[in-house]
Amino acid sequence: MDAVSKQTAAKIEKLAEAVMRTVKGGNNPFVEIPIRSLANVRWSEKKRLVELGNQRQKRYFFNVSMAKKFMQTFLVSDACKELVESGKTTSIRDLYYVTKHTIGDTKQNTFEEQDESDPIIEDLEVALDSLREELHLFASRKGSMVGPITIRDSGDTIDLRRMGSGGWAVPSIVEENIIQFVRHEAKYILLIEKDAVWTRFNEDKFWKRERCIILQGGGQPPRGVRRLVQRLHSELKLPVYVLVDNDPWGFYIYSVMKQGSINLAYESMRMAVPDARFVGLSSFDKQKYKLPDNVAIKMDDGDNARAKQMLAYPWFKHAKWQREIAEMVSSGMKYELEALSRRGISFITEEYLPKKLKDRDWLE
């Protein structure tokens, strides 16, 4: 086992040993788990991250309402320890089937549906302070990457300068023991919201001209993409720019990349990039880049409610962000990145983004 796997296995063993000591002491065995709820999430001004608070709960074995979850916690723990020690990985869907069985002579199953096992995995993550990926669990891969960088993926050396039109498919598990950065000439990282826009940047060889790494996560970036961006930023000291639609969803994608998400607040330190910069599409770009009225999309009630909600977020309290969001609300319009194509199919790669970067026209 590598060092990360040994550490993860040791954490699982420590969790089990603590329970055994309680049993031997004649007490009700329990496992202590940080509470994953909105009430236990806080904004750290100092770290500029959404993070989990200090509230914890004890899950007891001799408790009618807790016994099943107690059992499920250690079923999942045991399965993950076996994966870690064998050097194998599996999907969270597969783990559900691995741990699902009938208990003794009863008709009671350990798990009925996957929506029972998924929260247990998250409980185990926070209890062990380990990423799901360190437990050797992965989700469906989603995301593409190209750029002037050579990596090593599970022992295979891959040149991301030679990945054709599709790019390198970013895996779910991108930890140091799986993915290593060999060499690079990149000046920055560009995270693009949509596959179609990323394809334009790749086809136009923007990454080669600008010496940057371009990634996309197909909307809200999955954990693998977010973790990889965070690693590229922290280990290679590369600035991160986020290119998203001018709508509440695009702003939210940027927010999650920068501050972390409320649902995964316990992983913000390993997923978020507080120094990430927003490079568009801005609420003021319609006038600046002379976009015609017919490329605008009317905001619906859900969009307006979400935008107004964002005005209250502490990380959007800066005057520039208040002005940005207020402009969107007052105009009642939103714009997709593809709207820039009205100025020319390669306008976004040849004029729009180069000008934004040159003029330092971004939000933080």
> For 79-90, how does the pLDDT look when each residue is reduced to its tens digit (9 = 90+)?
999 999 999 999
CA atoms lying within 13 Å on the CB side of residue 53: 12
If you average pLDDT over residues 169-185, what whole number do you get? 93
* Most confident range, picked from 111-115, 118-122, 170-174, 201-205: 201-205
Give the per-residue pLDDT at 2: 83
Ranking 45-54, 191-200, 203-212, 316-325 by mean pLDDT, the lowest is: 45-54
If you average pLDDT over residues 331-356, what whole number do you get? 95
If you average pLDDT over residues 154-164, what whole number do you get? 95
Give the per-residue pLDDT at 336: 95
Give the per-residue pLDDT at 53: 85
Ranking 120-129, 132-141, 167-176, 334-343 by mean pLDDT, the lowest is: 132-141
Ranking 14-18, 34-38, 179-183, 201-205 by mean pLDDT, the lowest is: 34-38
Question: 36: closest CA among 133, 116, 124, 111?
Answer: 124
How far is Cα 306 from Cα 303, in angstroms, rounded to an integer?
5
Q: Confidence band (pLDDT; 50, 70, 90) for 46? A: confident
Give the per-residue pLDDT at 182: 97
Rg of the chain in Å (alpha carbons): 23
Q: Which residues are catalytic?
A: 97
**pLDDT surpassing 90 at residue 34:** no
Long-range contacts of 351-357 (CB under 8 A, 24+ apart): 352/280, 352/289, 353/190, 353/206, 353/243, 353/279, 353/280, 354/210, 356/279, 356/280, 357/241, 357/279
Distances from the Cα of 99 to the Cα of 15, 36, 73, angstroms: 19, 23, 10
Q: Is the Cβ–Cβ distance between 121 and 189 less than 8 Å?
A: no
If you average pLDDT over residues 187-195, what whole number do you get? 96
pLDDT digits (tens, 9 = 90+) for 229-254: 999 999 999 999 999 999 999 999 99
Two structure tokens written together for 342: 């009205």
Give the per-residue pLDDT at 214: 98
Give the per-residue pLDDT at 4: 84
- Which has more confidence, 107 or 300? 300
Q: Confidence band (pLDDT; 50, 70, 90) for 140? A: confident
pTM of the model: 0.85
Q: Confidence band (pLDDT; 50, 70, 90) for 319? A: very high
